[in-house]
Amino acid sequence: MGRPLYYAKSFFGVIDLLSFLPTYFSLLFPGSQYFLVLRILRLLRIFRILKLVQYIQESRFLLKALRASGRKIAVFFFTVLILVVIFGALMYVLEGEENGFTSIPMSIYWAIVTLTTVGYGDISPQTGIGQTLASIIMILGYSIIAVPTGIVTIEMAQTFKANTSTQACPQCSRENHDDDAEYCKYCGAHL
CATH number of the domain enclosing 159: 1.10.287.70
Residues of the chain with pLDDT > 70, as a percent, come to: 89
pLDDT of residue 56: 73
pLDDT band at 47 (very low <50, low <70, confident <90, very high): low
Residue 187 within a domain: no
Question: Each residue of 91-143: pLDDT tens digit?
Answer: 999 999 999 999 999 999 999 999 998 989 899 999 999 999 999 999 999 98
Q: Other CB atoms closer than 10 Å to residue 81's CB: what's the count?
A: 12
Asked if residue 189 belongs to a domain, the reply is no
* Range 106-112, long-range pairs (CB < 8 A, 24+ positions): 108/84, 111/83, 111/84, 111/85, 111/87, 111/137, 112/84, 112/88
| Cβ contact 71:155 at 8 Å | no
pLDDT number for residue 52: 66
Residues 118 and 159 in one domain: yes
Number of domains in the chain: 2
Query: Is residue 190 a part of any domain in this protein?
Result: no
The pLDDT assigned to 60 comes to 81
Q: Are residues 152 and 92 in the same domain?
A: yes
For residues 151-157, average pLDDT: 88
CB 126 within 8 A of CB 99: yes
Longest dimension (CA), the chain: 77
Between 88 and 172, the higher pLDDT residue: 88
In 3D space, the residue among 185, 190, 160 whose CA is nearest the CA of residue 175 turns out to be 185
d(CA 95, CA 16): 56
Are 127 and 87 contained in the same domain? Answer: yes
> Does 15 share its domain with 84?
no
Phi-psi region of 169 (alpha: psi -120 to 50; beta: other; left: phi over 0): beta
Residue type, 185: K
Question: To the nearest whole percent, how much of the chain has pLDDT over 90?
Answer: 36
**40 and 75 together in one domain:** no
Q: Is residue 140, in this structure, part of any structural domain at all?
A: yes
Domain assignment of residue 32, given as a range: 4-50
